[in-house]
Amino acid sequence: MPVSDKHRIPTRDLDTPPRLLLGPGPSNAHPRVLRALSNRQVGHLDPTFIELMNEVQSLLKYVWQTDNPVTIPVSGTGSAAMEAAVANMVEAGDSVLVGVNGYFGLRMVDMASRYGAEVTRMTAPWGTAFDLDTIRSHMEACRPRVLGLVHAETSTGARQPLEGVRELCDEFDCLLLIDTVTSMGGVELYLDEWGVDAAYAGTQKCLSCPPGLGPLTLGPRVLERLEKRTKPVPNWYLDMSLVGKYWGSERTYHHTAPINMNYGLREALRLIAEEGLEARWERHRTTARMFWDGLAEMGLSCHVDEDIRLPSLTTVKVPDGVDPGRVAKTLLTEYNIEIAGGLGELAGKVWRVGLMGFNSRPENVMLLLAALKDVLNR
């Protein structure tokens, strides 16, 4: 039988445009990370890969400032790590409290509900954060087993302060789960100091690695609950009692690790260690400050109050009479610069600009400000 030739077969080599990715993610990978990705493969149980897995785990612990025993890159993007956290921490019928002040809080609600939790939404306007009194009153009402908060809300540009949340969680015997996708490697984070029980991230934001892995960390309290579960984690691929054996001492096959992505992540994390965490956080603050000052000079303002404004993601208010989609499109087609519009409550009201990892540099700020000025003056 002849093979069908009805499918389109591309004949041209792939030639991607040189975009500057200044949106909410992905951000541009560091050239050293791209080089690391192209190293030749080894097997997923090769002694050299096992050594690399150990290196990645300790680098992740450094960047998160945690000693959590299970600290590994989940195969998949940030959402896979988010789902791994939820699947392993939540049992059907558990009361779960989630802070919803943006799009990713909503995603956490959706995931926890799918795993059978009784979810309570604690809501606040998009672009604000929760204070301890608000969290306490919700905890009193729903007595949660898990409290989920988004440390860096990429849909709004707001940072959730975490000081004092652990004490509340201790009072209510509650696990603390934190989304650090847009803060890990760009914004101050002290997971152990803040008593965070579990956190997740993605490689494609401040880590400057392409999308494909989702760092996940689970502390002793989470592992204890995982052991005591009455039913297995309902998601086979993300069951950390199985995956943990591959990354831990047993090294038994569960699924094939994305080998080359792990090369990339290792290099991305090594770059952070080389720069130093504090210097890296400081660089993100300085670059963001330069951007905010430049916006103010152009008469533009930011949506989020400065004390909780993320250096990694800024929401810029769209001036009256300006079509935000058209501006973003012109920046992309004429300047090769990607920024994004608002989501949900902020749709049509803001642009979202990411200055993450490798991209957090003065020349990118100057270029974006000049381009934005040009496009807005038309």
Contacting residues toward ligand PLP, per CB under 6 A:
25, 77-79, 82, 104, 150, 152, 154, 179, 181-182, 202, 204, 211
Tell me the closest approach of the beta carbon of residue 214 to ligand PLP, in angstroms: 7
Q: How far apart are CA 375 and CA 326, in angstroms?
A: 9
Q: Which of 234, 266, 265, 238 is nearest to 254 (CA)?
A: 238
Instruction: Return the number of the residue (144 or 211) whose C-beta is nearest ligand PLP.
Output: 211
DSSP calls for 73-100: EEES-HHHHHHHHHHHH--TT-EEEEEE
Query: What is the distance between the terminal CA atoms of the chain, rounded to a whole angstrom?
Result: 60
Q: How far apart are CA 244 and CA 66, in angstroms?
A: 17
Instruction: Return the number of the residue (340 or 371) whose C-beta is nearest ligand PLP.
Output: 340
Q: How far apart are CA 355 and CA 189, in angstroms?
A: 17
Q: How far apart are CA 48 and CA 55, in angstroms?
A: 11
Instruction: Return the number of the residue (211 or 357) whose C-beta is nearest ligand PLP.
Output: 211
Instruction: Return the number of the residue (157 or 219) whose C-beta is nearest ligand PLP.
Output: 157
Structural element, H or E, at residue 4? none
Q: How many CB atoms lie within 10 A of CB 369?
A: 18
Tell me the closest approach of the beta carbon of residue 275 to ligand PLP, in angstroms: 22
Instruction: Return the number of the residue (148 or 211) whose C-beta is nearest ligand PLP.
Output: 211
Tell me the closest approach of the beta carbon of residue 310 to ligand PLP, in angstroms: 10
- Quick check: 204 and 21 in contact, CB under 8 A? no
The CB-nearest residue to ligand PLP is 78
Largest Cα separation within the chain, whole Å, is 72
Tell me the closest approach of the beta carbon of residue 215 to ligand PLP, in angstroms: 11
Tell me the closest approach of the beta carbon of residue 150 to ligand PLP, in angstroms: 5
Tell me the closest approach of the beta carbon of residue 320 to ligand PLP, in angstroms: 28
Instruction: Return the number of the residue (353 or 371) whose C-beta is nearest ligand PLP.
Output: 353
Q: How far apart are CA 62 and CA 85, in angstroms?
A: 20
